[in-house]
Amino acid sequence: MAAITMTALPSSVDHQVVIPLLKCPIAAAAAAAMIPTVDLSSPGAARAVAEACRGVGFFRATNHGVPSSLAATLEADAMAFFALPDKDKQSTTTTTTPAPGPGSARPSLGYGSRRIGSNGDVGWLEYLILSLGSNSVLPASLRLALHEYTRAVRELSGRVLELMAEGLGIVGETERGVLRRMVAGSEEELVRVNHYPPPTTERDEDDDGCVGITGFGEHTDPQLISLLRSNRTAGYQILLQEADEARWVNVAPDPDSFFVNVGDTLQVLTNGRFRSVKHRVLVAPERGGKASRLSVIYFGGPAPAQRIAPLPELMREGERSLYRDFTWGEYKAAAYKTRLGDHRLGPFQVQLLPPAAAKA
Ligand SMILES: O=C(O)CCC(=O)C(=O)O
Ligand SMILES: [Fe+2]
């Protein structure tokens, strides 16, 4: 097996943490064709969004209407933040919330490095995680940039949720807002800024190509929807299900687009018609490469008391729910007690999912 020796650490924290190695998957060029792209301004957008969510659970959204200047400003401010000394970054925690203990029902808000959640997951990254409703002690310009950016991305998320509903056949001015309304004003919206410093490594190549290290371990996102934008540094991968085989596929970075993920909650709300897709970030040492990956992800979740069950308007006669009833609060509590890669919907499932895209 190939070996990677880390010779530079992104932070002085936790030198003992051992970050797992990963094998690189198939070449990005071959993978590009497998990632659906939806032009959100096109008349067929609702149908295309639904098709992508049924098949892959993931798509690249173009013509999304979020001004590129907002992302550029945020990116510059976030990079400046991550370049601060560790002690300054670590003092950036939310003012109102104490750190959660192991197995807690909520993520630790504020700055983090290497450790993801409280159950032993680690990755080659540092990050900021903020609840849109919380008070954080961030440098003023970063706070403003995040505010402006998330305001635009929230709006985009609402539009995409409407397109999803429409693509599922829920039409009518009011009716198609069913998913959008679950997220808007729920106070369960999070934004996460991830910074993956370039590793300085010695690497070997094995027969299948290179290996890298875990930036962010494999998982599905628990909320309804996630919208990700990154800079030009590669690393994001999704697990593509093809017939009986699942394989990791590189998603070529595209700072002009948003990448939309179906979350676990949306899978349940659609009774398995839409799929939450497993994804991860691999940090691969490119020879001589010094580029950091910076990504910003908006997560849209419902209110804690929201009942999560298949939407009645979608259910065909005689169709049974694949899941037992639960609330978002219950799911969140269960999800944050697990490891990243666990099948978190498993304990809520009462019937196996049919093969992807088999349902109309
Ligand atoms: O940072 C990335 O590119 C993706 C990270 C991710 O999947 C997450 O934060 O849920
Ligand atoms: Fe994720």
3-state secondary structure 14-43: CCCCCCCEEECCECHHHHHCCCCEEECCCC
Q: What is the pLDDT of residues 36-71, one digit of tens each?
A: 999 999 999 999 999 999 999 999 999 999 999 999
Atom in ligand 1 nearest the alpha carbon of residue 216: 5
Pocket test for ligand 1, best of 228, 264, 292, 298 (most atoms within 8 A of CB): 228
Strands (E), 3-140: 4-6, 21-23, 37-39, 58-62, 110-116, 121-131
Q: What is the pLDDT of residues 231-246, one digit of tens each?
A: 999 889 999 887 777 8
> Which ligand sits closest to the CA of 57?
2
**pLDDT score recorded for residue 25:** 58
Cβ of 225 closer than 6 Å to ligand 1, yes or no, is: no
Pocket test for ligand 1, best of 22, 60, 236 (most atoms within 8 A of CB): 236
223 touches 301 (CB < 8 A): yes
What secondary structure does DSSP assign to 341-353, as a single string? TS-TTGGGBSSPP
Cβ of 280 closer than 6 Å to ligand 1, yes or no, is: no
Q: What is the pLDDT of residues 209-219, one digit of tens each?
A: 556 788 999 99
Ranges of residues in the chain whose predicted pLDDT is under 50: 1-15, 96, 102-105, 206-207, 358-360
37 CA → ligand 1 middle, Å: 19
Atom in ligand 1 nearest the alpha carbon of residue 279: 7
Going by alpha carbons, the residue nearest to atom 2 of ligand 1 is 295
Domains of the chain: 4-359 (2.60.120.330)
Cβ of 194 closer than 6 Å to ligand 1, yes or no, is: yes
